[in-house]
């Protein structure tokens, strides 16, 4: 059974993951508006992944005898100065999520909630992958700088991303 404090913190993370999905969907729309459909696809896949994360935590709360409480989702930004600026914001966002997950792990350890700690380890590993993936894309954006042909090739590459939910 979850403590009230752990249940509240996990519900806050569900909200953050829902916001993240909204955030990436907004970025997808931005990329569509500037005719970078590959980047838009990448962000849409990211939005689906974040929704998967929210549901995964929501299900865990319910499995542990808690209750998922849906709060209002904050409005994400909708405009950026450049494609590079978008991916810089993505990396900063994922670093923030990593901090939030680490805080949940700390709380689980403080409360000696071993089941939640074990559950959260999947998210710890996921965040390592998220930051590495976004960092790699960001490096490519920096490398191509203002090269339009490089942007075209990178957009094509990002367009191949498909979200496949991991096995439970």
Residue 50 labeled ligand binder:
yes
Please check if 130 is assigned to a binding site: no
Q: Per the annotation, does 63 bind a ligand?
A: no
Using DSSP, state whether 56 is helix, strand or coil: helix
Exposed, middle or buried, 61 (CB in 10 Å: 0-12/13-18/19+)?
A: buried
d(CA 8, CA 34): 39
- 3-state class (DSSP) for residue 156: helix
Contact at 8 Å (CB) between 54 and 14?
A: yes
Residue 159: other Cβ atoms inside 10 A: 16
Q: Are 68 and 14 in contact (CB under 8 A)?
A: yes
What six digits make up the tokens of 128?
A: 């390592």
Binding residue positions for Fe cation:
17, 50, 53, 94, 127
Binding residue positions:
17, 50, 53, 94, 127
């Amino acid at each position: 059974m979850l403590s009230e404090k752990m249940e509240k913190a996990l519900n806050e993370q569900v909200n953050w993951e829902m916001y993240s999905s909204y955030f990436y969907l907004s970025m997808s729309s931005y990329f569509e508006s500037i005719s970078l459909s590959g980047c838009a696809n990448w962000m849409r896949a990211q939005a689906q992944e974040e929704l998967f994360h929210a549901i995964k935590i929501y299900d865990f709360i319910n499995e542990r005898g808690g209750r998922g409480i849906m709060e209002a989702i904050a409005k994400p930004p909708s405009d950026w100065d450049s494609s590079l600026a978008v991916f810089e914001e993505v990396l900063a966002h994922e670093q923030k999520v990593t901090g939030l997950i680490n805080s949940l792990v700390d709380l689980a350890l403080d409360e000696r909630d071993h089941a939640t700690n074990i559950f959260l380890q999947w998210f710890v590993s996921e965040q390592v992958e998220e930051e590495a993936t976004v960092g790699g894309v960001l490096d490519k954006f920096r490398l191509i700088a203002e090269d339009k042909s490089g942007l075209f090739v990178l957009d094509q590459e990002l367009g191949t991303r498909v979200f496949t939910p991991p096995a439970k």
